[in-house]
A and B are shown apart, each in its own frame.
Chain A
Amino acid sequence: MSSVPVASDKITRFALASTSAPYIEKLLSGTVTTNLGVPSKAFVSDHTTSSRAGTEAIITAVEHVKACPTGCAVVAAADAPKASMWSPLEHGLGAGAAGFVVSNENLIAEVEGHSSCAYEHFGERFRPDDDDLIHDLEVRKFAQSSLIGATTEAVSTLMSEIGASPDSYRSVVIQQPDARAPAAIARKLGAGEELLASGSVVAEVGDLGAASVPVGLAAALDASKVDDRILAVSYGSGAASDAISLRVVADRKSAPSVRSEIDRKEYIDYIQYLKLKGAIR
Chain B
Amino acid sequence: MAHVSIPMYWRTIPQRYKMIGQKCKNCGSVNFPPKGMCKYCGVSKDFESVNLSGKGTVHTFVLIGAGGAPPEFVEQEKAGGSYPVAIVALEEGPKIIGQIADVDPKQVSIGMRVATELRKVYNEEGVIRYGFKFVPDEEDR
Contact = CB atoms under 8 A, between A and B. Distances in A.
B43 interface: no
**Best-surrounded residue of B78, B79, B120 (most CB of chain A within 10 A):** B79
Contacts of B130: 31, 35
B128 interface: yes
B141 A275 contact: no
Given A34-B13, A34-B18, A264 B128 contact: no
A35 B120 CA distance: 13
A281 B77 CA distance: 10
B18 A275 contact: no
Given A34-B17, A34-B18, A35-B18, A264 B141 contact: yes
A276 interface: yes
A22 interface: yes
A278 B79 contact: yes
B62 interface: no
Interface string B52-82: 0000000000000000000000010011100
B17 A276 contact: no
B50 interface: no
A281 B118 CA distance: 26
Interface residues of A, number: 11
B78 A281 contact: yes
A275 B118 contact: no
A276 B78 contact: no
A22 B129 CA distance: 12
A276 B13 CA distance: 27
A37 interface: yes
Interface string B121-139: 0000000101000000000
A22 B141 contact: no
Contacts of B141: 264
B17 A275 contact: no
**Best-surrounded residue of A34, A276, A278, A281 (most CB of chain B within 10 A):** A34
A37 B18 contact: yes
Contact of B79 (A35, A264, A275): A275
Contacts of A264: 141
A257 to B, nearest CB: 14
A42 to B, nearest CB: 16
A50 B17 CA distance: 28
Given A31-B130, A34-B13, A35-B118, A276 B18 contact: no
A275 to B, nearest CB: 5
Contacts of B118: 31, 35
**Best-surrounded residue of B17, B18, B80, B128 (most CB of chain A within 10 A):** B17
A165 to B, nearest CB: 42
B17 A35 contact: yes
B132 to A, nearest CB: 10
Nearest to B75: A278
A276 B128 contact: no
Contact of B128 (A22, A34, A278, A281): A22
Contacts of B17: 31, 34-35
A74 to B, nearest CB: 15
Contacts of B79: 275-276, 278, 281
Contacts of A34: 13, 17-18
Interface string A31-72: 100110100000000000000000000000000000000000
Contacts of A276: 79-80
Contacts of B80: 275-276
A191 B141 CA distance: 39
Nearest 8 CB-CB pairs, A to B? A35-B118, A35-B17, A34-B17, A275-B79, A276-B79, A281-B78, A22-B128, A278-B79
Given A23-B128, A35-B17, A281-B78, 14 more contacts: A22-B120, A22-B128, A31-B17, A31-B118, A31-B130, A34-B13, A35-B130, A264-B141, A275-B79, A275-B80, A276-B79, A276-B80, A278-B75, A281-B79
